[in-house]
């Protein structure tokens, strides 16, 4: 991955190449439609990019760990010799079964 060059990113912000491209695409589309581009939506996008929410803000944590454990138990029920579609169906059925066994409050 190339180093981030603040001189070449939008407003010199420490954005990744993908983030910078997304911002520039947003501005281009707004200009094409004759709309103002320096909007509260752009400000919110930049804030999210520069300060992404933590796992705690998203309310993850224990529930994410539980989901991972459920997925691992469900994956154990899938036989490697199964056809991909059958394996997918079996995995999803096992996930539903695990969710019923361990309902989230």
pLDDT computed for residue 77 by the predictor: 66
* pLDDT tens per residue across span 16-27: 888 888 888 989
Q: For position 1, what pLDDT does the model report?
A: 41
Q: Based on the number of CB atoms within 10 Å of its own CB, is 8 exposed (0-12), middle (13-18) or buried (19 or more)?
A: exposed
Q: What is the pLDDT of residues 47-95, one digit of tens each?
A: 888 887 665 555 555 566 777 777 777 677 666 666 777 777 777 787 7
What the block records as the tokens of 27 is 């501005």
Please tell me the distance from the alpha carbon of residue 23 to that of residue 49, in angstroms, as a whole number: 10
pTM: 0.45
| Rg, Å, the chain Cα set | 22
Residues 34 and 36: their CA atoms lie apart, in Å, by 7
Residue 100 has φ and ψ, to the nearest 5°, of: -70, -35
Any idea where the domains of the chain sit in the sequence? 15-52, 62-101
Res 37 pLDDT > 80:
yes
What's the confidence (pLDDT) of residue 2?
Answer: 45
What are phi and psi for residue 94, nearest 5 degrees? -65, -40
């Amino acid at each position: 991955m190339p180093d981030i060059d603040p001189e070449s990113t939008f407003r010199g912000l420490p954005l990744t190449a993908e983030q910078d491209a997304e911002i520039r695409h947003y501005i281009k589309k707004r200009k094409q439609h004759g709309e103002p581009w320096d909007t509260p939506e752009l400000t919110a996008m930049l804030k999210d990019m520069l300060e992404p929410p933590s796992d705690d803000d998203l309310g993850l944590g224990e529930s994410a760990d539980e989901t991972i454990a459920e997925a691992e138990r469900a994956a154990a029920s899938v036989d490697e010799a199964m056809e991909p579609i059958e394996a997918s169906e079996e995995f999803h059925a096992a996930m539903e079964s695990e969710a019923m066994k361990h309902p989230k409050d």
